[in-house]
Chains A and B, each alone.
Chain A
């Protein structure tokens, strides 16, 4: 197994947590520290969140601070915007990122723009959590990540943890941020009982609070021969691909973006200047998204360093239900290996 180049949680972190538990750990700690933090979404009370995002919070904080909302995203996401503008620190959850369509106005026209439109006299210190991702056969309306959509529209910060350590650190940072932060957690990485996670997201997690700064990518594996830039579930697939390629003598550097907005261009540039070969892997639609953005930034700033480039993403098709079809569209470990080999 690849060892993370940035080794988190050593020392006295004896506990390892699933990504969901680490996320909840941070939320609970922030709620203890500040009465103005509350969590609102569908099935977050007794159910503890469909993807375990609020497991155990109801018992500690009660129904006034862990709030089941009616199925009305426009109303409750918009209400979170209003509460944030009144100075509270709400965390509002869109159960599946795919549902943002229902309340997109409140997200991109209100939450993301009110700070700017008011000339900075208003700010929106809220967190918008949402479950993303597929490959468990939930079809076109329940499997998207929509990383590109949220990142493209100006005015909201966007983070995507791939490990428990990052999940806790990014949640602390997100809640304390005075700007709106979209916190996108991958369903397959949460460690849910009915959707087993792959190896990798469960990591040592310190007991005390700490932050992972927004806008900081993480080199999860060092290498000289090629750079793979990715996020979320595909960090772990890239690490698997790197192991296989190492057997053939190719050492791949895997960069986990962790933040889409703000974006850490420098870490990506440093790596491409070292390796010259860039592969970008994204579980979102190929055109007009993350892969194009990463490559454009490198092309703008270090065109001479870039010898070869390949992108691996979901093609521009809705995500199909049937197992062989979904595997065809969602980048697999083999696809990442092939992409690296093609830029060698």
Chain B
């Protein structure tokens, strides 16, 4: 059973994340038409949007607070929102501005927010070992905080993931691994590259529970995560959560998805986890006018963040040479001045 207020909060975060990704897609495509040029426009470079993944973020982060560490991969915005990352600064970072989370140096794949212990990184599965490390620190300090590592189903064949499972298990660390299984590793369908019935089966060899959550269901994720996070906090070790999600957009903006059957794309659009949670709320007597109000509030928050971000200054070129070390007694070698 999940309390109706929790359902409301999850719903609000989900619609925030969905609207955020849709608006970022619009901002991103600006200046890149008619023929797509990845380095043009207000958000240049790669952009990996998580429309359709929201349930995996909100269902888990509902059990976390600021002291718990989360690492995420290259498709991080929904997790960042659910974790409480500063939305304005995150947006400014995505727009490459000086007042962004990382002073414009990280960009959308490398968002670091120490206030809520959130970090994401672009190399597949490499967020797992640092999450294990955060859990190790909590363990050594006898704190009850936990760590969560997010990864895609394509990442489960990577050595870093498998090593992380083992290290977490052998040291009984308070970490939860959350696999967002959207079936596509860019263009490679899961069945072609991974030989298991479900990713949850991977846990078998590593002495931890592996739990599969089907159907893109935020409530089901919430319930599975309650168990997993609870285990970790109580000193009972790691868990592997394998959460089904559906990728509604391409792998990255610019991906024409020629490799993906139309029926698969249609199915992703039909199975909407947000609508499903809305139905759960209606079952709890929450009216559509309240749902609309939540939606409007979420949209306004996103618009405000984007507007603020676009107003921020770009960084000074000289800043490129700073922050290599915290002890800047020697400047980085000059290059081209």
Direct contact of A and B (CB under 8 A): yes
Residues of A at the B interface (CB closer than 8 Å) are 42-43, 45-47, 50, 68-72, 74-75, 98-99, 101-102, 135-142, 193-196, 286-287, 312-318, 320-329, 331-332, 335, 338-339
A–B complex contacts, Cβ < 8 Å, 6 sampled: A43-B185, A71-B158, A196-B35, A323-B314, A324-B314, A325-B105
Besides A46-B258, A102-B160, 5 other A-B contacts (C-beta < 8 A): A70-B188, A139-B45, A139-B110, A196-B35, A317-B320
B159 and A102 contacting across the interface, CB-CB below 8 Å: yes
With contacts A135-B39, A194-B254, A322-B96 taken as known, whether A141 is within 8 angstroms of B121 at the C-beta atoms is yes
B46 and A138 contacting across the interface, CB-CB below 8 Å: yes
B335 and A313 contacting across the interface, CB-CB below 8 Å: yes
Q: Return the contact of A47 from the options B110, B124, B187 (Cβ within 8 A).
A: B187
B80 CB-CB contact with A under 8 Å:
no
B314 and A70 contacting across the interface, CB-CB below 8 Å: no
B45 and A325 contacting across the interface, CB-CB below 8 Å: no
| Nearest B-chain residue to A195, judged by Cβ | B38
Q: Return the contact of A286 from the options B45, B187, B259, B333 (Cβ within 8 A).
A: B333
| Nearest B-chain residue to A282, judged by Cβ | B335
B317 CB-CB contact with A under 8 Å:
yes
Q: Return the contact of B96 from the options A43, A136, A321 (Cβ within 8 A).
A: A321
A317 and B336 contacting across the interface, CB-CB below 8 Å: no
CB distance from B19 to the nearest CB of A (A): 24
Which residues of chain B from 263 to 285 have a CB within 8 Å of any chain A CB? none
Q: How far is the CA of A47 from the CA of B252 in the complex (A)?
A: 13
Q: How far is the CA of A313 from the CA of B335 in the complex (A)?
A: 5
A136 and B45 contacting across the interface, CB-CB below 8 Å: yes
| Nearest B-chain residue to A196, judged by Cβ | B37
CB distance from B184 to the nearest CB of A (A): 10
Interface size on B, residues (CB 8 A): 57
A99 and B335 contacting across the interface, CB-CB below 8 Å: no
Bitwise interface map of B from 294 to 337 toward A, beta carbon under 8 Å scored 1, else 0? 00000000000000000000111111110010000000111110
Residues of B within 8 A of A332 (CB): 336
Residues of A within 8 A of B107 (CB): 137-139, 321-322
B186 CB-CB contact with A under 8 Å:
yes
A316 and B155 contacting across the interface, CB-CB below 8 Å: no
| Nearest A-chain residue to B45, judged by Cβ | A137
B106 CB-CB contact with A under 8 Å:
yes
Q: How far is the CA of A43 from the CA of B193 in the complex (A)?
A: 11
CB distance from B243 to the nearest CB of A (A): 18
A140 and B333 contacting across the interface, CB-CB below 8 Å: no
B104 and A325 contacting across the interface, CB-CB below 8 Å: yes
B235 CB-CB contact with A under 8 Å:
no
Bitwise interface map of B from 189 to 205 toward A, beta carbon under 8 Å scored 1, else 0? 00011100000000000
B39 and A317 contacting across the interface, CB-CB below 8 Å: no
CB distance from B253 to the nearest CB of A (A): 9
Residues of B within 8 A of A74 (CB): 159
A68 and B188 contacting across the interface, CB-CB below 8 Å: yes
Residues of A within 8 A of B259 (CB): 46-47
B209 CB-CB contact with A under 8 Å:
no
| Nearest A-chain residue to B110, judged by Cβ | A139
With contacts A42-B186, A71-B157, A287-B333 taken as known, whether A320 is within 8 angstroms of B194 at the C-beta atoms is no
Residues of A within 8 A of B193 (CB): 68-71
Interface centre among A99, A135, A196, A315 (most CB of B within 10 A): A315
Residues of A within 8 A of B46 (CB): 138, 142
CB distance from B321 to the nearest CB of A (A): 6
With contacts A315-B335, A324-B317, A325-B319 taken as known, whether A194 is within 8 angstroms of B186 at the C-beta atoms is no
Q: How far is the CA of A305 from the CA of B194 in the complex (A)?
A: 59
B1 CB-CB contact with A under 8 Å:
no
Residues of A within 8 A of B35 (CB): 193-194, 196
| Nearest A-chain residue to B259, judged by Cβ | A46
9 interchain residue pairs of minimum CB distance? A321-B107, A322-B104, A137-B45, A322-B96, A315-B335, A335-B336, A46-B259, A47-B187, A70-B193
Residues of B within 8 A of A68 (CB): 188, 192-193
B76 CB-CB contact with A under 8 Å:
no
B39 and A315 contacting across the interface, CB-CB below 8 Å: no
B44 and A323 contacting across the interface, CB-CB below 8 Å: yes
B157 and A194 contacting across the interface, CB-CB below 8 Å: no
Q: How far is the CA of A70 from the CA of B320 in the complex (A)?
A: 36
B135 CB-CB contact with A under 8 Å:
no
B134 CB-CB contact with A under 8 Å:
no
Residues of B within 8 A of A138 (CB): 45-46, 107
Q: How far is the CA of A139 from the CA of B110 in the complex (A)?
A: 8
Residues of A within 8 A of B108 (CB): 321
Q: How far is the CA of A139 from the CA of B96 in the complex (A)?
A: 11
CB distance from A234 to the nearest CB of B (A): 11
